[in-house]
């Protein structure tokens, strides 16, 4: 399959796409022995020989997945035209382009996976896998038992029934309640919308687990590389 040269270079872990464009413009990249300085050339990495500074460029075999404790105020993206802080700026893995698996709202914190393994990302995000996401939500007021029961059974949000949710009260305090919420859907701002729908807006939201993989004591803004065992926990 033909793809843009800078994309192939980036995916090979050689550099970011922008850096790869610089290399091309500098005349350092050859395709089948021919120097390519024009941007956007379509190449077939399986059939053509691509070199940079005379060294062959190959697809990276190394698949890396990290678990980040996303702070509030960071956008789940690899670039933000508005110039807000982005989650990829918190990842220091030279030569690897890790992209977020799904998203967390700007104002939500906690567990966010980033990976360069497209197949893994697909498996985690596909609804048929029904991977639970566990959240800690602090909501306004004291939700009544009936409201929580409605969320457990599923409510109509934007014309569509939500799947049954696991909901457990962790702590009650004057004016607010902290709950654990387990869902496997990833609708936009779903937890916030669920509690708003029963009249108890979310004050604070943190994702604490993907499947059986927990955030644990990972400090805010820090990440760790996941092992094969960690990856298996996601699907457990």
Q: How far is the CB of 192 from ligand URA (least distance, A)?
A: 4
Given the complex with ligand URA, which of 45 and 211 has the nearer CB atom?
211
Q: How far is the CB of 147 from ligand URA (least distance, A)?
A: 17
The site for ligand URA (CB under 6 A) is made up of 104-105, 108, 189-192, 205
Answer yes or no: are the C-beta atoms of 224 and 68 closer than 8 Å. Answer: no
Q: How far is the CB of 173 from ligand URA (least distance, A)?
A: 21
Given the complex with ligand URA, which of 204 and 235 has the nearer CB atom?
204
**Which uninterrupted H or E stretch holds 103?**
none
Residue 225: which residues within 8 A CB-CB, separation 6 or more? 64, 65, 66
Strand ranges for 32-183 from DSSP E: 34-35, 42-43, 50-52, 55-56, 65-70, 99-100, 109-115, 133-140, 156-157, 160-161, 166-173, 176-183
Total count of residues recorded for the chain: 236
Q: What is 203-214 written as a DSSP string?
A: EEEEEEEETTEE
Given the complex with ligand URA, which of 78 and 197 has the nearer CB atom?
197
Given the complex with ligand URA, which of 105 and 180 has the nearer CB atom?
105
Provide the token pair at 44: 């077939």
- Provide the annotated active-site residues: 105
Q: How far is the CB of 104 from ligand URA (least distance, A)?
A: 4
């Amino acid at each position: 399959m033909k793809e843009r040269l800078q994309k192939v270079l980036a995916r090979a872990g050689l550099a970011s796409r922008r850096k790869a464009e610089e290399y091309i413009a500098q005349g350092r990249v050859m395709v089948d022995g021919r120097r390519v300085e024009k941007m956007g050339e379509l190449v077939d990495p399986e059939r053509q020989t691509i070199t940079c500074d005379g060294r062959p460029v190959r697809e990276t075999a190394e698949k890396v997945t990290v678990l980040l404790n996303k702070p509030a105020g960071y956008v789940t993206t690899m670039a933000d035209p508005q110039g807000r802080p982005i989650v990829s700026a918190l990842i220091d893995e030279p030569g690897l382009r890790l992209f977020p698996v799904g998203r967390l709202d700007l104002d939500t914190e906690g567990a966010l996976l980033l990976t360069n393994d497209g197949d893994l990302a697909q498996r985690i995000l596909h609804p048929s896998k029904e991977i639970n996401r566990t959240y800690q939500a602090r909501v306004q007021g004291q939700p009544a038992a009936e409201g929580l029961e409605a969320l457990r059974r599923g409510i109509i949000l934007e014309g569509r029934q939500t799947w049954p949710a696991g909901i457990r009260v962790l702590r009650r305090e004057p004016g607010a309640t902290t709950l654990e919420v387990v869902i496997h859907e990833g609708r936009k701002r779903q937890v916030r919308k669920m509690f708003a729908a029963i009249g108890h807006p979310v004050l604070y939201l943190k994702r604490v687990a993907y499947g059986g993989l927990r955030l644990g004591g990972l400090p805010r803004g820090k990440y760790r590389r996941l092992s094969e065992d960690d990856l298996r926990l996601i699907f457990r």
